[in-house]
Amino acid sequence: MSRIIDLGFLAGAYATRLLVEAGHDVIRIDPPHGDALRRVGPFLGNVPHLERGAYHHFLNAGKRSLSINLESPTGRELFLELLQKADALVTSQPLPVEENELRLRKSNLVLAQIEEEGAELCAYARSGLLSLTGQPDGRPTVLGGHMIYLATGIYVAIGTSTALFVQKQTGQGQTVSVSMRDCLETFVEQAMVEYTFSGTKTERRGSRGSITAISGAMACKDGHWVVSQINRPGRWEEFTAWVQDPELMADPSLARDEIQHEKKDFIMDRILAWANRFTKAELVEEAQRRHFPASPVSTPLDLVNDPQLIARGYLSEIALGSRASNAR
């Protein structure tokens, strides 16, 4: 087990949360007035409090914390003394001291630095991801949640773990520099491969699939679901036998892939009219019985009640301390 000092924001805090799960001892440094993550809602009971923030507890579960004023000489010296007993430092903010001073105090330190952890929307746009999401004839659409920060955190955790392994083997430290933009380029792989190889421009496709003509997300009785009609001999007939739409069944040419691409809007409109009669659970259950790839578009409520996630222990209860109740 290694000791890691945490000076990160969202990406860094998620990286060190993963390192806690891997068995490391993480100490988070808070300023005297409380860390910024403690002020990010929602708050338990809708009461703003430094000990009741959801993101604070999600990202800092399992860590120890210490309040230090890094702007004061006394605080910086205390920080350096703490660092001498640590193996790694994860940070996404300017260091309170110069890196060479860190190395003088701890020559084999693993220093993981996160670059460009700024505005999420700007990073999303700069990386090229924003050009790929949304409707073809509409504006680019931002993904929900904080995928950008969490994806960066995963890379930081991997880089830090690798450097700690080398440290254990050789006794040497190193600097791990992780750019948030570089991490996001991972998710632009299709567009970059296609463009650099053949000059093909990847277009936004909204909620439609890209492999087969008849695939995508569509509305149903209680939300949305995703289905993909497999392009194999006989599968179109099996699909229309399930949907039982007279217009789809009346045209044998629709079984051909090229015709499906030509008439995909008409086909999807017919499927949508049919799907609106059923719930997403009914549609997905029947699709799976018939061996068609399908999934509900899950909401947070669906996820917390998902039997698979429950069986795998995905959700766990954490103790929030004496100033708050327990939460999942």
Average the pLDDT over 35-62 and give the result: 89
Average the pLDDT over 282-305 and give the result: 93
Per-residue pLDDT at 117: 60
- Please give the helix or strand (H or E) that residue 67 lies within, else none: strand 64-67
- The set of residues, in sequence order, having a beta carbon less than 8 Å from that of 76 and lying 6+ positions away, is 70, 96, 97
pLDDT digits (tens, 9 = 90+) for 57-113: 999 999 999 999 999 999 999 999 999 999 999 998 788 888 888 898 999 999 999
pLDDT at 40 over 60: yes
Average the pLDDT over 187-215 and give the result: 79
What is the Cα–Cα distance from 18 to 153, expressed in whole angstroms? 8
Do 100 and 244 fall within a single domain? no
pLDDT at 195 over 90: no
pTM for this prediction: 0.87
pLDDT digits (tens, 9 = 90+) for 219-260: 999 999 988 766 677 888 999 999 999 999 999 999 898 898
Give 219's strand partners: 224
- Contact yes or no for 6/16 (Cβ under 8 A): yes
- Which of 138, 165, 186 corresponds to the end of one domain? 186
What is the Cα–Cα distance from 93 to 89, expressed in whole angstroms? 11
What is the Cα–Cα distance from 223 to 281, expressed in whole angstroms? 10
Higher-confidence position of 278 and 232: 278
Q: Is residue 203 part of a domain?
A: no
Do 25 and 161 fall within a single domain? yes
Q: What is the number of other CB atoms lying within 10 angstroms of the CB of residue 292?
A: 19
Cα 80–86–87 angle (5° rounding)? Answer: 125
- Please give the helix or strand (H or E) that residue 177 lies within, else none: strand 174-179
pLDDT digits (tens, 9 = 90+) for 112-165: 999 876 678 888 888 888 888 888 888 888 888 888 899 999 999 999 999 999
- The set of residues, in sequence order, having a beta carbon less than 8 Å from that of 199 and lying 6+ positions away, is none
Banded pLDDT at 302 (limits 50, 70, 90): very high
Relative to beta strand 294-296, strand 223-228 is antiparallel
Q: Is residue 315 part of a domain?
A: no
Average the pLDDT over 170-186 and give the result: 91
Per-residue pLDDT at 220: 94
Per-residue pLDDT at 231: 67
- Contact yes or no for 15/98 (Cβ under 8 A): no
Supply the DSSP symbol for 142.
Answer: P
The alpha carbon of 135 is separated from its chain's Cα centroid by a whole number of angstroms, namely: 21
Per-residue pLDDT at 328: 43
Domain of 282: which CATH number?
A: 3.30.1540.10
- Which own/partner pairs from 145-148 qualify as long-range (CB within 8 Å, at least 24 positions apart)? 146/10, 146/120, 148/120, 148/123, 148/124, 148/180, 148/183, 148/184
Cα torsion angle, 137, 271, 202, 119, sign = positive
* Least trusted range by pLDDT, from 62-71, 81-90, 176-185, 186-195: 186-195
ω into 32 cis (within 30 of 0) = no
CA atoms within 13 A on the CB side of 178: 32
Do 157 and 57 fall within a single domain? yes
pLDDT at 270 over 90: yes
Do 111 and 253 fall within a single domain? no
Domain of 52: which CATH number?
A: 3.40.50.10540
pLDDT at 37 over 70: yes
What is the Cα–Cα distance from 275 to 288, expressed in whole angstroms? 15
* Least trusted range by pLDDT, from 12-26, 122-136, 278-292: 122-136
- State the total domains in the chain: 2
What is the Cα–Cα distance from 32 to 34, expressed in whole angstroms? 6
Give 88's strand partners: 4, 110
pLDDT at 261 over 80: yes
- The set of residues, in sequence order, having a beta carbon less than 8 Å from that of 83 and lying 6+ positions away, is 5, 89, 102, 105, 106, 109
Q: Which structural domain, as residue segments, surrounds residue 258?
A: 215-297
Average pLDDT, the chain: 89
pLDDT at 284 over 50: yes
Q: Is residue 227 part of a domain?
A: yes
Do 11 and 157 fall within a single domain? yes
- The set of residues, in sequence order, having a beta carbon less than 8 Å from that of 289 and lying 6+ positions away, is none
